[in-house]
Structure formats: C-alpha cells, structure tokens
A and B are shown apart, each in its own frame.
Chain A
Amino acid sequence: MPNATLIALIPLLPLAGFLLLGLFGRKYFKKSSGIIGTILLLASTVLALYTAYEYFFVYGKVAGSYQEIIAFNYTWLEFSKGVSIDMGILLDPISVMMLVVVTFVSLMVHIYSLGYMKGEERFPTYYSFLALFTFSMLGLVISSNLFQIYIFWELVGVSSFLLIGYYYNKPSAVAACKKAFIVTRFADLGFLIGILILSYSSGTLDFNTMIDTLTSSGSTQAKAAASTFLGASALTWGAALVFIGGAGKSAMFPLHIWLPDAMEGPTPVSALIHAATMVVAGVFLVARLFPVFSITTPGVLEIVGWVGAVSAIIAAIIACTQTDIKRVLAYSTMSQIGFMMFALGVSGYGGEAGLGYTASMFHLFTHAMFKALLFLGAGAVIHYVHSNDMRDMGGLRKFMPITHITFLIACLAIAGIPPFAGFFSKEEILLAAYHNNTAIYYIALFTSGLTAFYMFRLYFSIFWNKTPSPPGEGRGEAHHSEGGFSMMMPLIVLAIGAIAAGFIPFGHFVTSDGTRLESHFDLQFSILPVALGLAGIFLAMWLYLKQNERPGKLTASVYGFYKTAYNKFYIDEIYLFITKKILFNLIGRPAAWFDRNVVDGMINFTGNTTAKVSEGIKKVQSGKVQSYAIYFLLGVIGLAVLFIYAWK
C-alpha cells in the first residue's frame, strides 16, 4: 500500500521551501536560495518518481486495472453530513503521472533559473514563488475532493499572478498579471457555481463518491436530472460550468486572452506555468471528472471537443503571424492544449472507446517535455540577444549550438515528425478524432500542418535567416557564451525526454477506466499527418531559411486576413470594450454615483429636513407661559375630541 507520508512530502517540501525562502530568504539566503529550492525540489522529484514506480508496478494494479487509491484523507471543513471539504491524496494513473510531470519540469526550471535569474535582486522571492506554485500544482493534481481542487486551483492562479508580475515595476507586467488573474477568476466563477450544483446533486464533494453517484442511474441522478433550467438538466449545467473553469485556466477560446500577455513573466516561469503544468490543469480537471462528462453529460463533452478544436486552429493561425517568440510559443501552447481538450471531447469511456482519453494524457505528457524545452531554449536565446523579437535574431546556430540542436528536436517533436515524442501522442489524438468526429479530425489535421509551419518559421528565423552580427558587439562581454551548465543541462535532459517520451506505451498505464489499452499504429493512417507536417516544414524553410522577399509578398497578398490574425482577431478589443465600456462605465460608475448622490442624498435630505423642521418648531419654545397655557389647552381639547369621537 502507498506510504502516505512520503507522498505527502512531495507537495510539502516545496511548501517548506516557500515558507523558508519567503520569510527568511531576503535576509539569510540571499545567494543560496536557489540551491535550497532546487534541493528541496530534487527530493520531491525523487519521491514522485518512487511513487510512480510503486503505483504502476507494485500496488496500483488490482485484477488487471489500475485502482483509485485514497492514500490519505482529512476532513478540513465539514458543511453537513457527507458534504465536506477534505484534504486528501488520490492516487490514480493521471494523478501519479502529473506528479511526475510537475516535479520533473519544475526541477528543470529550478535548475535552469539558477543561471537564468542569477544576479536578480529578488532572487529569493523568485524561488519562493516558484516553490509556492509547485506546491499548489502538486496539491491540485493529488486532490481527492472537488473543493480541494478548487482551493489549489486558486492557489496556482495566485502563484501565476505573482510570477507574471515578478517584474512589478514594469507597467506591462502589472497589467498582464492582473489580466491573467481576473480572466481566470471569471472562469472560476463558473467553476464555483458548477461545484455547488454538482455537490448538491450528488450530496458529496468527494471525487470518487461523486463520480459513482452521478454516473450510476440511481435515484439521485434522476432527481438531479429532473430539475432543469433553460432546457438543460442541472447536471448538464454543472458539468458545463465546471468546464468553463477548466477552459479559463487552460486558455481555451474565448478565455485565452490572458495567456499571451502572461509571457511578461520571466521565461523559465512561462516554461513551467504557462506551458507545461498550470495551463493543462483544465485538461486535467475534465479528465478527473471524465466519467461524469462522458456518461452523464455527453452533450457537454461534445462542447469540450469543439472548444478544443476551435482553440487549436485559431491559436495556430495567430501563431503564424506573431513576431515575439514567446508569444508564438504561447499561442502554440494554446493550440496544443486545444488538441488535448478535443481528444477528451471525442473520447468515450472505457475500453477501446477511451483512446481519446489516453491520447490526451499522452499528449499532455509529451507536450510538457517539448514545450518546456522550447521555452527554456527561447529563454536562452532571449538571454543572449536581449530581445523577444524574432526580427532581431537570425543565424544564431553558430553561437548557440546546444540551444540550436535541442530547439530543433523540440520543433520536430511538436511538428509530429517520427520518431520524436509529439508524433506518437498526436497520432493517437488524430486516430481518436478520426473514429469519432470527422469534422474535428480535419480541423486537427490542418492544424498540425500549421503547427509544423509556424514552429519552423520560428526555428529558421532564430537560427538561420540573416547573417548575425558578431557576438559581443554592443552586447557587453558577459554574453559570449550561450549560458552555463545550469542552463544547458535542463535543455539536454528535456531534449532526451522529447525524443524518448513517445516510446512509453501509455495505453498500458493511463486509460479512462484503468484497464490496459493496446496502442496500434497504422502506418497508412500516419502518412497523411506526417506528410502535412513535412510540407509545413518545407514551406517554412522556403520562406525563412534565407532572407528573401517571399514572406513579405505572401503577407501582402492576404493582407486583410493577415492583419486580422496578427491582431489576434481583435478578441482583446472586444473584451476591453466589455470591461471598460460596460462594466466600468455602465455599471460601476453609475453605482458609485447613485450611492453618493441618491442613497446618501436621501439620508442627508432626511437629516437636513429634520434640522430645518426643528429650527422651525424651536420658536414654539418661546418661554412665554401664556402661550404654553394655550398650547396645553388646545392639546387637552384635541385629546378630548379624539377620545370622545374617534376612539371606537
């Protein structure tokens, strides 16, 4: 059986790091905080790998299928009998896989940052935030309770906020971190209401019980299904709202607008949070509740599929036009998460039908490797060139050989060229889509061609294209090398991952119902996607290998569309209109005005009137006994009349 203490240590070690560095880092660990953070995370990673080994090969499998094991459970806040927020550890294939992914990528980023962030004034703060994020993300993936996942969900949100706003003096960074937080918060509102609905319908917040209740055709479900709103059952609403939360975190269309801006954070952070781990939380959430989506609310699952597909293609189109290399990668992330999302959307539950589920998780795993690698490589480039813009780059292959090779590997992986990791996972996704939803399949096919194109556009623009100016000129002596050991080592390790991860027989370990799924590769089926990928690469090569006129002509020929895509389809502007014009000017401002003038005006009016009235009747108290006598007499007469005539 699992050792709960060891597993609990996986998130608790980074938490300890956060507290230690956050409280005392500035004073005592000015220089050593990076090492401390890295060592703690190394321990976490080792424990995570050990847990994965134990789970997958020792105790996890019972009677041929992987079990969901509650290793630990603590009632954190009880609402009523059966409904409580628990803090627990749920071990199942996806949570164990995520433990490995998160700790591993985080470790790479920790090591990389030792070099990348060296000399930063707030070095300890950086590492404490990184540790806080890692803790929250690990807590998220092992959650055993729907509310627990929401708690850690918010915590990863705030760590992301803190890290995007790490350069807090930069107005653009401040704007970006606010935007990221508020957009995801808006999505979380959906998540929260979804939680309320699902917990009410199932009478629990515990994942396993909830899934059992909601998927069995018992009386509870009948009761919940009976109550409808706007033509959809309460459960459908609940699942859809929970998905909105997931879509916000995973930057799905139309809630994706925060992700490109989030690139304001330090590049290693982008690699960790906005590429490999946090942004896949939405995919993870849908996967976590997959039986509910698949069995109880198939309609919502269809929406999940379409949202994923639309996001994938839109992001890919935008990525083709951007010139900031981190933004290209950000849109590429969004596109790839779209792949994972629609893979879930086209999947069924259990057995062969569950291929999409396995493929989605597989892609999540391989994507973490090659996307983290891409970002870290981009970080090395930015570190070297001191610019994010690909127009400032070119010909860097001579000066940055390790970065160049590893970046190329990652590009090949994401483009889906065999035998790199992305090929295997993407093939499975396409296969699942092909069998279940032809329209999505063609969208996906086209998008994977585009992916190859924009990735190699990026690659050629950075490492080939124009002849570079010799290094050192105008850049200071410090940047002759491409980065020390601490920066190159993670690149190499991740590159190995990007090559090798595809050979893991994922279907043996991670499936929708825990049973084994044999992956079968169909060579004929693979020809088309690979050919499209190669076509994309050659097109990029033709356009960007050497400086030439062709890209300019091409954009000029489709200028209107190019401009729209370059401006990200004006989605940001639409949001800006809604928030600035409607929320601020139409609701906020009138509310504030109304309060000061109408509500408070009434209160003041009452006060002033009282004062005036008393001013008026104060003359009555004249001190003249005669007039008092008259008032008295009048009063007596009045009362007498009242008593005699008016009373009964």
Chain B
Amino acid sequence: MTLELRNVTKRVGADIHIHETSLVLVERAFNILIGPTLAGKTSLMQLMAGLEKPTSGEIWFGGRNVTGVAVQKRNVAMVYQQFINYPNFNVYDNIASPLRVAGMAARDIDARVRSTAELLRLGPMLMRKPSELSGGQQQRTAIARALAKDSDLILLDEPLANLDYKLREELRDELPKLFAGRSSIVVYATTEPTEALLFGGATATLDKGRVTQFGPTAETYRKPADLITAAVFSDPPINTAPIVKRGDAIEIGGSLRLPAGRVGAGIPDGPYTIGIRPHHVTPATGGDAGEVSGRVILTELSGSESVIHFDLGGRTWLSQSHGIHPFAVGATASFHVDVDRGFFFGPDERLVAGGE
C-alpha cells in the first residue's frame, strides 16, 4: 500500500504553508520528514491524516483518492510531540478508545489492549490516569493507542522531542522494533539529523513548506541535491562559503587558497559555494596544505568532543572533532579542511560535485 501526495498545496489566508509537493510513501519503512521548526512538517502530516484539506492537489491512499475523506474514515493514527492522552480515561481506556469507537468486540479489545500495553511496558500502569504517569509513560500510552488501532498510516510528529535524554534514547531504540512487523506506512517527523540517520528508511527534507529532496536517508545525507537540503540535514550546521575555483586551487574570500582536491579538480573553473560539514573541519596537525585559520569565537567542550566556532573571512565556521581542544576565545587557530568531503554547489545552489 502507498500514500501518494499529488501536487498538493496548502494555503491559509495569504500564507503558503505547503508549496506544491508530490511524494510517494511506501509501507514497511520509516518515512522521515526532517526540517527545522515551522518548515511544514506538522502541516504536511495534517494533510496526510486528513485533518486539513489541501488547497489544491490530491491525496491517494492504497489506490484510492482520499482527498476529501474525513479523518474519522481513514484509519490513521497520530502521536504528537506533546503527550496527548484523554485525561479523564485511565491508560487502559485510552488504548481501548479507538477500538471502542470502531465498534470492536469487548473481548478482542481486551486482548489487544493488554498485548499492546505489554509491548510498551505499560502492564502495571493500566489503571492509572495519564496525570499519574511520568512523561515517558504518557508518551508510551499515546504510542500504544496508535499501535493498538492497527492503522494503515501512523504519523509520529516529533514524538521524542519533549522527553529527557535518557528516555529519548530508550524509546528511540524501541520504536523501529515496534513497527518492524507491521504493514503500516510510518511517517516520522523530526528536527534532528541524527535521529533520521539512526532510523534509516527514506527521508524528505523540508524547508519553508517545500520538500527539497526525498530519497533513501543515507543517500539524502551523503548526496544532498542542493544547499538547503545539506543545511537542513546537518547538525551542527554545515559550513558554507562562496569560493572561486581556479585550476587546482579554490579561493575563499579572495585571499585564502586551498588545494581543490580530488572532487574540486573535476569541475570547471568558476564561482561556487562550498559546503563542508563541521566534522570534516578539524584542528590542524601542522604542515598541511588544506589549512585555514581564524579567530576563535566560541569553544563548546563536551565529554569527548569539541565544537569550535571560528571566524573565516566574516563567516562563522564550525569545527567538530573528537578529543578536548581547549582553544582560547579570541586566539587565532588553524584548522584542517577536508575538501574532498565537501560539496560544491553551483550559482543556482544545486549540487555540482562532491559527497561524503
């Protein structure tokens, strides 16, 4: 079964929430929507669910045009970032509620609720009200309700965003297993590239209501079609700079020259924008041709990793490396730039060459 968006747009008043979008989502795989806040992830999900009607375009589900069909008649399930449960129902009734509405026999409901609760380790909490649960358990209840329904389409809108670190890791490991044996189409929205890469599947990158690229997650990450896709799918944010490629060298900001490298050698001379993810910019070991230097603006040191913000010809670049590199703020530091791992974008911001 597939979910197909055909030239769908959504306008609210004068604002365009979703620009013309066509997508084909398949079952048995995580379909990930990645994009910053307000990129249109939730709007797109509301269109998929049928909570909102597209301004133009059609939505097809399993070979059927469902564009005008009410959400109640669509067999969809949705989990939100906020832990949404029915506050006046206990956990058992929460999980059972979509089944009751669907008119399932009481004995089947009971079996389904108990097995789903077991799966999400909610067994001992069944008689509690959502307000008596921890955040993680509340979100498990919401997920259990979505799973119990056995929907054709399961929409997860940043379900882990409001959980604290430990619970997020835990649930992130469990999620793929929960959906593994199911024939549903799973759509998962997130702002974090790491999450998308962990889940695999297919990823659509979103920016300002536009899907910039859709394809297998690893491929979208390694070969972003354009600058904006690369920017959306990078954390920490990708380093960019306008460059001029001349012969076997690239010039950044007129003065700084770096060897063009394996990738850069193959493209015609001219102006480009280079994009290099921070983990390919590392503190210099000395005596290397591919080095840049700049004033250190900020040093973020975590347990085993350093993120250094430095100034490169008026732009802030980031270096992400293993180990602790305690550069002093204001000092000048040198960094090795792995140009071979960089992306070269043309004047239209489309990818010309490069990839990780």
Question: A and B, one complex?
Answer: no
